[in-house]
Structure formats: C-alpha cells, structure tokens
Amino acid sequence: MSGRRKFVTGNWKMHGLGGSLSEIASIAASAAALDDVDVALCLPATLIARAINAAPSLMIGAQDCHQERNGPHTGCISAAMLAEIGAMLTIVGHSERRQDQQESDADIKAKAEAARDAGLSVILCCGESEVEHDAGQAVARVTAQIAASMPGGAAADWLTIAYEPIWAIGTGKVPGMDDVAEMHGAIRTKLRELIGKEADAIRILYGGSMNGGNAAQLLAIPDVDGGLVGGASLSAEKFVPIIEAAAKA
C-alpha cells in the first residue's frame, strides 16, 4: 500500500445547467456510501454554489482561476472568489486551457499559488500531445512541464498532479498500462527531485478516456492514485462505477 488514498475527480468542462443538480446529488449520495475514496466534481463556475447546496457532502471545485486576487480582467474569476462561494479546489493547467487560452507553465504556477493562498486545493494538469507521444518525447515533455509549473510550498494536503495525455482526452484511446506506469513513475521521480520526501505523499491522477470498463486496471498501477474523468463523470450511471473501482483499488 502506498498510503495514498485514492482520489477521483470529475471535470464537467463546459457542461451542466440547473437541470444537472439532481445528477450531482445522486453522485454525492453514492460517494458518501464509499469509505475508501475521495470524490470531487469540478464544475462550471455558474453551478458551484448551487451544487454545494444540493450536495453538501461532496467536494465541489472549479476548473480554473485567475492568478490575481482582483483587477481589470474582464470575464475572469479569482481563487478568492471561488473560495468565497464554497469551492474547495480548482483544476489548473488543463490542456484545453493551455490550448484555447494559450496558458504557459508560468501562468499555471502562478494560478496554483493563487489558489493555495486562497485556501483551495489544486489539481495541476500535465500531458503530452500526440506528436510528442509518437516522437518518444512524452516523459521529457511532461517532466519539463512539472518542473516549470511546480508551485512553491508544494504539499500533499493541497496539491495533486493529473497526468492527461492530450491524445487520450475524449477519444476513447488509452495508453498501454506499461506506458501509464512508466509515466507516473517518472512524475514521482521528478517530484522527489523537486520537493524531496513530500513527493511520496502527493497523489498523481490519470486522466483521458477513463471509464467504468478500464478504471480498475488503471487504478491498480502503483503510482496511479486516482482519476480525472471528463465525459464519464457527467452522469451517476457512468461515474459511480469508476469511484467504486477506486474505493476497491
């Protein structure tokens, strides 16, 4: 046993209106019945407060935050604003934001530190493109991202890493189990180099086409401490088998 408790987070991306609150409550009820797994949902900002109200036992988070506390940044939301409405965590550095909003490793480090300062936990994402994967550069790319985006004061009580190969997101493609094991081992080694012993307590999630059919196998890999789940987190029917697999892993 690693001593690290499994952690499964759903990332709803740009999905969900008020009609989804009953689905969130249903996920929360199933999660509350499981002892050996931490479960969270990272929701659109518009749903966070209502989800906390509808499902108070569930950890509810955001998908991004701005790196400053406030200022002239039209349309942006700060970590302090998320904390104020009851969010407990936020994702930073998702590949969709790296691509759509051109976020750099330096931006992601600043966002992670802003979230930490506001009292939020952070899931910091990394992952290689298909081209990098095919060129055999995945480990080099991902460990470089981690080194460049690692926030100060990294500690397991607030920081989690999520490895999401970009080519596996929403495609139904999943890397070979040996490749996942190699990557998660390489991330752990890089974390030890950067932050020493605390690295062994930090959870490293896998994300990219995780579902009820492959979760048990992925979660049995030694340094896979949970999952960051997109499409399959949108309904209790698809998400609950994943969190049940994590509770048994």
- Minimum distance of ligand 13P from residue 121's CB (angstroms): 16
Using CB under 6 A, pick the residue from 164, 223, 225, 244 that binds ligand 13P. 164
Distance (Å, rounded) from C-alpha 43 to C-alpha 143? Answer: 28
Does the footprint of ligand 13P cover residue 128 (CB under 6 A)?
Answer: no
Stretch that binds ligand 13P, among 101-109, 140-148, 195-203, 225-233 (CB under 6 A): 225-233
Q: Which residues lie below 8 Å from residue 171, measured CB to CB, with a gap of 6+? A: 208, 209
Applying CB under 6 A, does 209 fall inside the site for ligand 13P?
Answer: yes
Residue 171 beta carbon to ligand 13P: minimum distance, rounded to whole angstroms: 7
Contact flag: residue 230 with ligand 13P (CB under 6 A): yes
Question: Rounded to the nearest whole angstrom, what is the least distance from the CB of residue 74 to ligand 13P in the complex?
Answer: 26
* 20 in contact with ligand 13P (CB under 6 A): no
Residues in contact with ligand 13P, shown as a per-residue x/- string from 76 to 115 under the rule CB under 6 A:
------------------x---------------------
Q: Measure the CA–CA gap between 101 and 202, rounded to whole angstroms.
A: 27
Q: Which is nearer to ligand 13P, 126 or 232 (CB)?
A: 232
Among 41, 55, 229, 236, binds ligand 13P (CB under 6 A): 229
Closest by CA position to 37, among listed 223, 203, 217, 211? 203
Q: Is 196 in the site for ligand 13P (CB under 6 A)?
A: no
Q: Is 121 in the site for ligand 13P (CB under 6 A)?
A: no
231 binds ligand 13P (CB under 6 A): yes
Contact between 207 and ligand 13P by CB under 6 A: the answer reads: yes
User: Known catalytic residues?
Assistant: 94, 164
Residues near ligand 13P, by CB under 6 A: 11, 94, 164, 169-170, 207-210, 228-232
